[in-house]
Chains A and B, each alone.
Chain A
């Protein structure tokens, strides 16, 4: 069964360092999402891609976060510099259809980030 892949699964870094997370969506899925989930809360959307284009990045802290999906397949989320408050689970999800639909999202296992 096809799955969304993410790496690394765990990342420990010191504040002010740069970190990067990678996501490989299910093959053929046009829409890719990055979410942040703080312990005890639901996932919060950071950025949404339709193919290689950003559809929504209104909740992405653009002074330190960046995301790209250059060829419309896999994606990278970067934080530079990391802050203590960035400690969270970073989830990637994909969906087979485009923006404007209400289909289920398929989530990866997530990357647990700890900033010391």
Chain B
């Protein structure tokens, strides 16, 4: 069956450290993968899109990698801040241009 897996346990890190979140998928062959941020009680906010022929994409303190062989994307936040605390959702296109979301990983950055 098709699955998108993100760590359901919260990631708890110290301010200033690099946060690394994982997104694994099975039985998909996405050409594109996106990452969104969601704060409690709010809608998701788009962060980054990466194409299958891109190994890495950066935006300010954010970096995303996409390994189609491992069927995995990693999302990094460098020099993390308490304001980065949120749930981060991985999403990919599962066919028919329909965006399929993972269940998200909650990030907690301690001051």
Binding site for B on A (CB under 8 A): 4, 40-45, 48, 56, 91, 93, 99-110, 112
Contacts and interface: CB of A to CB of B under 8 A. Distances in A.
Contacts of A56: 96, 98
B31 A42 contact: no
Interface of B: 4, 8, 31-32, 34, 41-46, 49, 89, 91, 93, 96-104
Contacts of A45: 98-100
Contacts, number: 52
By secondary structure, the A interface counts as: loop
A104 B46 CA distance: 6
A112 B41 CA distance: 8
A25 B110 CA distance: 36
Nearest to A100: B97
A103 B45 CA distance: 13
Most-contacted residue by chain B among A93, A105, A110 (CB, 10 A): A105
A87 to B, nearest CB: 15
29 contacts: A4-B43, A40-B103, A41-B103, A41-B104, A42-B101, A42-B103, A43-B44, A43-B101, A48-B98, A56-B96, A56-B98, A91-B44, A93-B43, A99-B97, A102-B31, A102-B93, A102-B97, A104-B46, A105-B46, A106-B46, A107-B43, A107-B44, A107-B45, A108-B43, A109-B42, A109-B43, A110-B42, A110-B43, A112-B41
Please name the 9 residue pairs, one residue from A and one from B, whose CB atoms are nearest each other, closest first: A42-B101, A107-B43, A104-B46, A102-B32, A41-B103, A42-B103, A107-B44, A43-B101, A110-B43
